[in-house]
Amino acid sequence: MISAMRSKFGPAIIFGVMGVIVVVFVFSGIFTRSSLSGGPGVAGEVNGETIPYSEFSRALNQRVEMLKGMLGGKITEEQIAQFRIAEAVFQDLAQRKVMIQMAKKEGFMPSPEQIREQIVKMDSFKKDGRFDKMQYKAVLAANQYTDVRFEELVAQDIMEQNFREFLGQLAHVSDREVESELARMKTRAKLKYVYLDNESVRKLLPKELKSEEQGKALNAKVAELTKEIVPALGKGADARIKDLLKEVKIQAKTSEWLSRETNIIPGVGSVRSIEDQLLTLKKEDGVREFSLPAGTFIAQAVASESFDRSKLTEKDRTETLKKLQGQRQQAVMSEFLRSFMKNAKVSRNDSVVVEGKGSSVPLTADLGQ
């Protein structure tokens, strides 16, 4: 399948700045000692190839450090277990190994020159700004890597990155799709509205109501208020609306410009679930009623703007194209990865991944189904 696509789209794979960035990112945590306990062992297998404990522990350590940065420098063992971080790390490693295996099978193995080019660019091996062979040997030895093993890891990263780039070439976006997305994104509206949030309206109900009666009573009260508010909003009778809802301090308001990028209204929250209806409202449509998860939104358009091709800039087109390409590439990659993983034989060593023992024991938990 991949071979057929290569003949259609061309075999050229670009080794450039992006590849260097990815290599540095993947290996940036190699030159730190793992803080995880446990000895050598196997975290799992993917189609007969092992995921060493050392590789798993490094990846887990990197993930934990990243989460610490997001959580203000603190993360507990209970949180690591609760969010199943170790299992997620193993799954990522398994998916990456499957991707590398497929890339190797399809002929994406880099040449020795390409591997060397990536290594000599790494800052960890430089002395006085230049690659130093003695420094290279010393850093690898200090971290228990042989030249051969480290070069294998670099080759794997290059294969994965360039296989991803190849699959990205399948994510073609047409000019029509770009224009359609621009039309969707450039439509916007400004609304005058009243938001009847359920919690506020509930305060207007008789206090002696039983809990089982409250739902029906709430719906009836919202319908009663809506019947009054719709004509008042249409006539601009703000004082009438304010008086009607003075007990809960709800009144008519006017929003800022709403678009698909700015679809949050203060005091209301996200209106994404009804954005298509709101953004296409016109003044002549009058007042409309919409249901939101936490209340009822009553609105009319006071201003609206539709897609105007004459106002588009080249920047608009370029940025929209990049966005759509990114989305399409991610979809293509996810589809291929699902397909690869479905046919892969993946086994996980729960003694290492779940219990954190870091010792070599029989493999368990078939994840290939």
Task: State residue 334's pLDDT score.
Answer: 83
Looking at the structure of the chain, the number of domains it has is 2
339 located within any domain: yes
Same domain, 26 and 73: yes
Task: State residue 149's pLDDT score.
Answer: 87
183 located within any domain: no
Q: 284, 305, 326 — which closes off a domain?
A: 305
311 located within any domain: no
129 located within any domain: yes
Per-residue tens of pLDDT for the chain, all 369 residues: 445 444 433 433 323 323 332 333 334 333 333 333 334 488 999 999 999 888 898 899 989 888 888 878 788 888 888 889 999 999 999 988 988 888 888 888 899 999 999 999 999 999 999 999 999 999 998 888 889 989 988 998 898 888 878 877 778 889 899 988 888 888 999 999 999 999 999 999 988 888 788 889 999 999 999 999 999 999 999 999 999 999 999 999 999 999 988 888 998 999 999 999 999 899 999 999 999 999 999 999 999 988 888 888 899 899 999 999 888 888 888 888 888 888 889 999 888 888 776 544 444 444 433
Same domain, 159 and 230: no
Torsion sign over Cα 76, 77, 79, 83? positive
**Tokens standing for residue 183:** 């039309």
Same domain, 95 and 166: yes
Same domain, 7 and 149: yes
| 301 alpha carbon, distance to own chain's centre | 33
Buried residues in 280-316 as b, exposed as e (16+ CB within 10 A): ebeeeeebbebebeebbbbbbbeebeeeeeeeeeeee
Task: State residue 358's pLDDT score.
Answer: 59
Same domain, 300 and 322: no
Domain that holds residue 193: 188-305
Same domain, 20 and 153: yes
Same domain, 337 and 300: no
Same domain, 115 and 155: yes
Same domain, 203 and 293: yes
* CATH code of residue 166: 1.10.4030.10
Same domain, 294 and 330: no
